[in-house]
Amino acid sequence: MSRAFVKEDDAGEPPIIPPRPALPPATPNYVTPRGLELLRAELTALEAERTRIEVNREDEANRTRQLSIINNQLSALTSRIASAKVVDLQKQPADEVRFGAIVRLKTISGGKPGSEKQFTIVGVDEASVAAGRIAFIAPIARAIQGARLHDLVTLQLGRNQEVVKVIDIIYKSSLTNSDKDQ
């Protein structure tokens, strides 16, 4: 058969759509106000990208592939936004670790005694270990949720256990410009 009768994109692999961060079944999609703002900004960026791709008619096979990827990403993102449950951080108990808390822990035993860790408990789409934001479904977040100031909590870190003390709990009610960039 002549190559003239075969579409170029027939031979290619189906496009790989990067999945959204996992959210266990039957788990509410909790988000911070900042997290919802980031999801909406991502939606705007994807819609702009789709518009840019739609007007480019130079390479039809590549255009179709890119549109397929973008449309699938938009579908997943739209579902995630629709299921978002924004948590009002002002209504969280100030003396207890809950969703949205910025938590400081001090290692008491195991690990490096005296060392401190700080992170914020956020939704799955907002999580970034490098930025100090962990998903509320992460094992460390689950272990400390419900803890109060000065409580001792045992963390299972791989094969090692570490006992930490909750030394600070903060809830930010408003975003600063530097918070939006993180």
Domain boundaries in the chain?
A: 26-86, 92-172
Rounded to an integer, what distance in angstroms lies between the CA atom of residue 121 and that of residue 102?
7
Judge contact between 134 and 119, C-beta under 8 A: yes
CA of residue 124 relative to chain centroid, distance: 3
117 sits in which H/E element: strand 116-122
Query: What torsion do the CA atoms of 24, 42, 98, 95 make, to the nearest 10 degrees?
Result: 180
* Residue 132, number of CB atoms within 10 A of its CB: 13
Length of the chain (residues): 182
As given in the structure block, the two tokens for residue 142 are 């689950």
Residues forming beta bridges with residue 116, ordered by sequence position: 106
pTM of the model: 0.81
pLDDT at position 176 is 39
pLDDT at position 16 is 76
Architecture of domain 92-172 in this structure = Roll (3.10)
The residue type of 182 is Q
Give 141's contacts (C-beta < 8 A, 6+ positions apart).
121, 134, 135
pLDDT at position 172 is 85
Per-residue pLDDT of the chain (182 residues; tens, 9 = 90+): 444 444 454 445 667 777 888 889 999 999 999 999 999 999 999 999 999 988 888 888 888 888 999 999 999 999 999 999 999 999 999 999 999 999 999 999 988 999 999 999 999 999 999 999 999 999 999 999 999 999 999 998 888 899 999 999 999 864 433 444 44
CA distance to 82, 118, 123, 126, per residue, from 134 (Å)? 22, 10, 8, 8
Q: Rounded to the nearest 5°, which phi and psi values hold at 124?
A: -65, -35
Architecture of domain 26-86 in this structure = Orthogonal Bundle (1.10)
pLDDT at position 126 is 95
